[in-house]
Amino acid sequence: MNPALQGLITIVVGVGGCVAYFYLSNQFLDRVLFPPRGPNTGRNINRANAIRPWLFLFPALFALGLYLAYPVFETLRLSLTDRSAGGAFVGLDNYSRMAADPKFWEAVRNNFLWLLIVPAASTAFGLLAAQLTDRISWGNIAKSLIFMPMAISFVGAAVIFKLVYDARPEDVAQIGVLNAIYLQLGGESPITWLTVPFWNNIFLMVVLIWIQTGFAMVILSAALRGIPEETIEAAIVDGANPFQIFFKIKVPQIAGTIVVVWTTITIVVLKVFDIVFAMTNGQWETQVLANYMYDKLFRANDWGVGSASAMIIMLLVTPILVWNVYNARKEMR
Amino acid sequence: MDNIAGKKSGLTWAVHISVAALVLLWIFPTLGLLVSSFRTTDQIRSSGWWAALFPAVQNEVFRTADPGEFRVERDGVFVVEGNLYVVAGRADTDGDVAAVVQAWGTSSRAIGAYAPGETADLGDGETMTVEANGDYVWTGSDDQLSGRGQRVFVTAESPPEFTFDNYQTVLFDPGNREGMAKAFFNTLTVTIPATIIPILIAAFAAYALAWMEFPGRALLVAGVVALLVVPLQLALIPLLTLHNDIGIGKGYLGVWLAHTGFGLPLAIYLLRNYMVGLPREIIECAKVDGATDFQIFVKIILPLSFPALASFAIFQFLWTWNDLLVAMVFLIDSSGETTVMTRQIVELLGTRGGDWEILATSAFVSIAVPLVVFFAMQRYLVRGLLAGSVK
């Protein structure tokens, strides 16, 4: 069957199915199960209202449970078993095998580098862009353009930056901007940037910083606008210069938002896969955890170690998860 | 408001300049890709894309036509006449070429020895003249004009030139097995159902979490917040196994379901946050008037929640369109018939690493749609971001 047709049918069936489910289950509840008439009218209404939320929630809960909650436990189980031995329980064997793999430690080291640099740089650039564009006439256009990489896929960004980092033999014209500038500034010969260990990590991080700065800028710019004007007026009257106003008055007031931005980008960083996969595929010491996991799961077919490394990512995310839940609960009260 | 204490104009200028620098830095890489996708292979190889907007000066080697075939005898000397670009197959016979010869020579040691129109003495009466448009006259004796054509080194300036050929090749050439047309439609097929279905499911759930009273509600909200950050990497193997077990295998159905599942936490969270903020009176009035929850939801909540629905739709669209990992795991089988654009580009990066005209064009084809959506719906995207994070 033509996939486009299949897609159309799926939309109709999916949407129709959802609507039909919600409509019919409501009808069933009100007309058949607990009709609001007869001797038990009041009790029936109460019962129907107690059940209805679960009707509304059921498809979502089912999908969430199956696609996100169940895999966490299943992955934990897989990481403790050996697939080739028919799924026998092997304890922490996979973890110790993973710990013996130098590639894993390389991935951990690089992931920590990413965690240190990308959220910090994105937030800093975002804050800078937000503050600078806030009060100039063409600020919105500038914001739009800085925000634009958000719409570009990691793979697309990888191609864009591969062109920037492109290196060609010494005797022909350089078509990569970076090498062209490097030679202009007196560099001896073109460098293949992505194969220089350690520094190539930074060059990969630039791609994600480029994408995430727009996000940080949008959020922080909204926060900056929310700052009460009296505080700034008071500072000006007291003779503060623009830098003091920014660092001592504005930044402390949006500290909460900065933390939110920081953690959101941290989560993106922990899951970063496409950029490394498309640009170096973990060669030249650029491996990261998500790509290591993909390697193990789908290339080496080693589900044990693959799942173990997925659990490491989960472990790294958990503090943020707990913190988010804690904040959300605080808000609901 | 910074201005009330009389801001220095120097600082204002500094702000303008730094913003301009920042913006330039940010669009420069993308611009490179865009410009490169409109250049020919030769142009991309011979100069950086930033040079594309200016006339390009190139050194090239040509050969005149072979004397054996084309020489004519005139007043006792032999002559070969023609146009270098025509001989090289780079121009039609009318001699209309875009490039302008600035200097030329007949030896690799002095490639710019002569100006256009100048006549070079090659010794023993052999002469050569090259005009600015590439026309040449080569005269000499029987001996001198024999064998292969004379080599001519030319320094020529060609004006900026752009072409749609790359897009023609990448999108509309049916013989191109690496074309993006099929991948484009595959991506579209993945994206649209994967955007629409979660919205509907999430909207009902969000309404229940926002406006219905039942035990365990707070716990469920907390659960949704928790699932918001669970890495989908954990889901790959368990769900692929599950899909294989229940007979879905790898295919569109699997990827639609997966995207629906992965998109739901954000959808529920965004929509619930928005719906909680809707005025209580409207809903209570409707209840007093005898509306059921289902009617309230369909007739009041859904229309009022349009901005939130739109922001989530954009998020989900961008995310599914740009996704690589989920498609690779749940959709693309060994036949490669269902490949999506991101996967196709990664493949091209491997096989056509140096062919920037193909890479740039393919990448831009895949980037173009999200960019259009982005610029058209930016308002909703920003609103969604703000609702999703600053809470």
Q: Do B232 and A271 touch (CB under 8 A)?
A: yes
More confident: B6 or A294:
A294
Residue bearing tokens 């950050």: B229
Lowest average pLDDT, out of A7-16, A36-45, B17-26, B58-67, goes to: A36-45
Q: What is the pLDDT of residue B391?
A: 40
Please give the Cα distance from A69 to B239 (Å, whole number).
Answer: 11
Show the low-confidence residues of chain A (pLDDT under 70): 1-4, 7, 36-38, 85, 333
Please answer whether residues A222 and A260 qualify as being in contact, where contact means their C-beta atoms are separated by less than 8 angstroms: no
Put simply, whether A317 touches B (Cβ < 8 Å) is yes
Cβ-Cβ contacts under 8 Å for B284 (sequence gap 6 or more): none
Write out pLDDT tens, residues A41-86. Answer: 777 777 777 778 888 888 888 888 888 888 888 888 888 887 776 7
3-class secondary-structure state, position B183: helix
Please give the Cα distance from B308 to B203 (Å, whole number).
Answer: 10
Please answer whether residues B264 and A60 qualify as being in contact, where contact means their C-beta atoms are separated by less than 8 angstroms: yes
Residue bearing tokens 């929850």: B293
Cβ-Cβ contacts under 8 Å for A24 (sequence gap 6 or more): none
Residue of A75, A71, A74, A65 lying closest to A309 (CA atoms): A75
Write out pLDDT tens, residues B372-386. Answer: 888 888 888 888 777
pLDDT at B95 over 60: no
Tell how strand B151-158 and strand B135-140 pair up: unpaired
Read off the tokens for A11: 């939309």
For domain A104-332, the CATH architecture is Orthogonal Bundle (1.10)
Q: For residue A98, how far is the Cα from the chain centroid?
A: 25
Q: For residue A138, how far is the Cα from the chain centroid?
A: 30
Write out pLDDT tens, residues B153-196. Answer: 888 877 777 777 778 777 777 777 777 877 888 888 888 888 88
Put simply, whether A120 touches B (Cβ < 8 Å) is no
Residue of B230, B312, B334 lying closest to B267 (CA atoms): B312
Q: What is the pLDDT of residue B174?
A: 72
Q: Do B391 and A331 touch (CB under 8 A)?
A: yes
Q: What is the mean pLDDT of residues B82-102?
A: 70
**Residue B45 with chain A: CB contacts under 8 Å:** 172-173, 175
Q: What is the pLDDT of residue A251?
A: 86
Q: What is the pLDDT of residue B5?
A: 45
Please give the Cα distance from B350 to B347 (Å, whole number).
Answer: 5
B149 DSSP assignment = P
Q: What is the mean pLDDT of residues B145-152?
A: 77
Give the ranges where chain B is alpha helix by DSSP (H): 9-36, 41-46, 67-70, 84-87, 165-167, 181-211, 217-227, 236-245, 252-276, 280-288, 293-296, 302-304, 306-322, 325-330, 341-351, 356-389
Q: What is the mean pLDDT of residues B317-324?
A: 88
Å between B140 CA and nearest CA of chain A: 36
Please give the Cα distance from A326 to A187 (Å, whole number).
Answer: 52
pLDDT at B10 over 80: no
Residue of B184, B171, B170, B179 lying closest to B340 (CA atoms): B184
Q: How much of chain A exceeds pLDDT 90, in percent?
A: 3
More confident: B390 or B287:
B287
**Residue B371 with chain A: CB contacts under 8 Å:** 148, 151-152
Q: Do A173 and B47 touch (CB under 8 A)?
A: yes
Question: What ipTM was predicted for this assembly?
Answer: 0.84
Q: Measuring CA to CA, how many Å separate B169 from each of A50, B333, B345?
A: 61, 25, 15
pLDDT at B4 over 50: no
Fold of B168-389: MetI-like fold (1.10.3720)
Per-residue HEC secondary structure of chain A comes to: CCHHHHHHHHHHHHHHHHHHHHHHHHHHHHHHHCCCCCCCHHHHHHHHHHHHHHHHHHHHHHHHHHHHHHHHHHHHHHHCEECCCCCEECCCHHHHHHHCCHHHHHHHHHHHHHHHHHHHHHHHHHHHHHHHHHCCCCHHHHHHHHHHHHHCCHHHHHHHHHHHCCCCCCCCCCCCHHHHHHHHCCCCCCCCHHHCCCHHHHHHHHHHHHHHHHHHHHHHHHHHHCCCHHHHHHHHHCCCCHHHHHHHHHHHHCHHHHHHHHHHHHHHHHCCCHHHHHHCCCCCCCCCHHHHHHHHHHHCCCHHHHHHHHHHHHHHHHHHHHHHHHHHHHHHC
Residue bearing tokens 């129109």: B117
Please give the Cα distance from A319 to B7 (Å, whole number).
Answer: 44
Query: What sign does the dihedral B292-B294-B299-B303 (CA atoms) show?
Result: positive
Q: What is the pLDDT of residue B91?
A: 65
What is the domain partition of chain B in residue ranges? 2-52, 56-158, 168-389
**Residue A129 with chain B: CB contacts under 8 Å:** 19, 22
Nearest chain A alpha carbon to B219: A329
Neighbours of A31 (CB within 10 A): 10
- Find residues 288-347 of chain B whose CB sits inside 8 Å of chain A: 292-294, 297, 318, 321-325, 328-329, 338, 342, 345-346
Please give the Cα distance from A289 to A306 (Å, whole number).
Answer: 10
What is the domain partition of chain A in residue ranges? 3-64, 104-332
Q: At what angle do helices B9-36 and A199-225 cross, to 10 degrees?
A: 130
- Find residues 147-206 of chain A whose CB sits inside 8 Å of chain B: 147-156, 158-164, 166, 172-177, 180
Å between B54 CA and nearest CA of chain A: 15
Please answer whether residues A81 and A87 qualify as being in contact, where contact means their C-beta atoms are separated by less than 8 angstroms: yes
Read off the tokens for B306: 């349009």
- Find residues 86-115 of chain A whose CB sits inside 8 Å of chain B: none
**Residue B325 with chain A: CB contacts under 8 Å:** 273-274, 294
Cβ-Cβ contacts under 8 Å for A37 (sequence gap 6 or more): A44
Write out pLDDT tens, residues B276-319. Answer: 888 888 888 888 888 877 888 888 888 888 888 888 888 889 88
Put simply, whether A67 touches B (Cβ < 8 Å) is yes
One-letter amino acid of B352: R
Instruction: pLDDT band for B97, please (50, 70, 90 cuts).
Output: low
Neighbours of A205 (CB within 10 A): 22
Put simply, whether B232 touches A (Cβ < 8 Å) is yes
